[in-house]
């Protein structure tokens, strides 16, 4: 049995997280080969890490695979309503790929996928525009994605 760290994970868990941090889309089979564990053991360790809130599995939708050709970020200011509630409302819209409450000039940052500019306009006018509490929205179109990293864990070194 390997020694547990202060945060409750052992060296094998830490290795799995490090491997996923470098290449997040690895399968459990690939992780099993790299760690010398069985695929089931890797799956069980990932499940336990997720249940304990140490790591989580996330999916990222490629807009072009999902039928969308426009990826858009929306920066939103909220007034008269809890930003968390507004973020949840935004996140429930089908085209929304992610919705986060943030600090800074805006209260919420969201990511969206649309088939075309008409689709974008319709969602902004007929769905986002109906949400109570949105004071201002600024849209930015992704023109290219130079890099993308999926984060797998909270700080594991403490």
- Are residues 51 and 74 located together in one domain of the fold? no
d(Cα 54, Cα 155) in Å, to the nearest integer? 8
Q: Can you give the CATH number for the domain in which 51 is found? A: 1.10.10.10
pLDDT at 5 over 50: yes
Q: What is the pLDDT of residues 15-67, one digit of tens each?
A: 888 888 777 777 889 899 999 999 999 999 988 888 887 776 665 545 445 45
Three-state DSSP string of 27-45: CHHHHHHHHCCCHHHHHHH
Q: How many domains does the chain have?
A: 2
Mean pLDDT of 119-136: 94
Average pLDDT, the chain: 82
- Are residues 135 and 75 located together in one domain of the fold? yes
Q: Give the residue numbers spanning the domain of 97.
A: 70-141
3-state secondary structure of 117: helix
Q: Can you give the CATH number for the domain in which 91 is found? A: 3.30.70.920
- Are residues 2 and 54 located together in one domain of the fold? yes
d(Cα 125, Cα 122) in Å, to the nearest integer? 5
Q: What is the pLDDT of residues 67-122, one digit of tens each?
A: 557 889 999 999 999 999 999 999 999 999 889 999 999 999 999 988 888 999 99
**β 134-141/96-101 pair status:** unpaired
Do the domain assignments include residue 158?
no
d(Cα 43, Cα 46) in Å, to the nearest integer? 5
- Are residues 90 and 134 located together in one domain of the fold? yes
- Are residues 77 and 137 located together in one domain of the fold? yes
**The residue to which tokens 């085209």 are assigned:** 95
**The residue to which tokens 């830490």 are assigned:** 14
- Are residues 52 and 74 located together in one domain of the fold? no
Q: Which residues contact 144 (CB under 8 A, 6 or more apart)?
A: none
pLDDT of residue 59: 54
pLDDT at 151 over 90: no
Do the domain assignments include residue 120?
yes
Q: For 104, how many CA atoms within 13 A lie in the half-sphere containing its CB?
A: 8
- Are residues 118 and 91 located together in one domain of the fold? yes
Do the domain assignments include residue 101?
yes
* Claim: this prediction has a pTM higher than 0.75: no
pLDDT band for position 131 (50/70/90)? very high
Do the domain assignments include residue 85?
yes
- Are residues 77 and 96 located together in one domain of the fold? yes
Do the domain assignments include residue 157?
no
Residue 158 Cα distances to 7, 12, 55, 137, angstroms: 7, 17, 15, 38
**β 70-78/108-114 pair status:** antiparallel
- Are residues 137 and 77 located together in one domain of the fold? yes
């Amino acid at each position: 049995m390997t020694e547990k760290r202060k945060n409750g994970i052992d060296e094998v868990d830490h290795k799995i997280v490090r491997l996923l941090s470098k290449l997040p889309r690895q399968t459990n089979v690939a992780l099993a080969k790299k760690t010398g564990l069985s695929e089931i053991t890797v799956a069980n360790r990932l499940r336990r890490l997720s249940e304990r809130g140490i790591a989580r599995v996330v999916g990222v939708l490629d807009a072009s695979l999902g039928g969308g050709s426009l990826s858009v970020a929306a920066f939103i200011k909220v007034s008269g309503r809890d930003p968390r509630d507004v973020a949840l409302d935004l996140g429930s819209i089908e085209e929304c790929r992610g919705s986060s409450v943030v600090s800074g000039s805006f209260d919420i940052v969201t990511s969206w996928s649309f088939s075309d500019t008409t689709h974008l306009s319709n969602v902004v006018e007929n769905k986002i525009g109906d949400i109570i509490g949105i004071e201002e929205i600024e849209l930015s179109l992704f023109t290219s994605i130079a890099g993308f990293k999926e984060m797998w864990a909270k700080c594991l070194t403490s």
